[in-house]
Structure 1
């Protein structure tokens, strides 16, 4: 079906507020109002618990159980839930590119210091079978946009998923989540002295990013920073 006919039947909507985009707005993924006032998690609020923090990222309380150095998220999950669903499950690469640009914008505004000391960007990997079924790895697209915007190299093959695992969302307890991902990831080269930025789309319990970070540290990484497009927590 012709693209213009599809847009007539299913007009593009804003990725945040879901309002139908006018013709000028359709070059992007946001309406004018949302583009002018991006609903980023405000500086001084922890994206995970909603508590007050002195940084633009997670508070010390939320970080204490994790191996990585720091974590941040651009949006409360509910703000971009529809956009993420369209991106991941309807193959909306244009939406993915737009979300990646928003993540890059957030990192440049609030976490310039982290970008300045990062050697390269990594994405949380999918198992090859799942990636083949979906047709892409959504975090790869986020990383590609972040890399293009900041100039940081994106090293897509350093962190790999060795085995298939159940979806974390299907598991009830933190113990089950940890067990599900035990020995699921591997690092393919030495990272001695490197400082890396690990990217994911949704931070829920942090188990996935934590297991990835542990493997990166075992490979010699000096510091692992985490940035996510969204965080599910009290703000959502």
Structure 2
């Protein structure tokens, strides 16, 4: 039997309460079992749910596409909660698995980034992977999932990688020398060593400060309910046109 939890943007509280009443849903919290999590909001709401409630990876996520950025939406167009839940109960959907990254106790769906703690100066770094190592200077370093390359990585002129690819992508923010080009790697572990203290962010949220960081492929994947097709390139082009 399908059971539902809800995580919502604060201004959508009235809609969330209506969904909870009609479908006996509960607010998202860990320690309570449920089969599906409804995201009422956009991608930012989804990322906030991942940050606050790691147990979201134990359920299938239904992203209703009610935000400004809805790359991870479950349907090509925003879907009313009643229709989405009816289709879930009828098993009229499929599940897309999305990779994650883990670093310093945080889990990222898109990317883990590193920047000099002291603004206005270059970050000196060394990156060690199973394929070898590379050193250089740049304003920042980004380690991304394949689907995350449609986000922040775009600003570094990095590649956009199919979400099904079994890789991580390392790119550089304003590199000091032209030889530093984005890397597409099969490594399961990327170590980042820096000359002076750097700030690590996970999907835009600060995740720690230090001089040595380890980014690993996440053991858990986000299971996203999809109604119809998950047309990755269409979503990428839609996002790029909105920039």
The interval holding the TM-score normalised by the smaller chain is under 0.3
Q: Which protein shows a greater Rg?
A: 2
Q: Which of 1 and 2 has higher RCO (CA within 8 Å, sep 6+)?
A: 1
Q: Which has more helix, going by share of residues?
A: 1
Q: Which has more strand, going by share of residues?
A: 2
Normalising by structure 1, we get a TM-score of 0.25
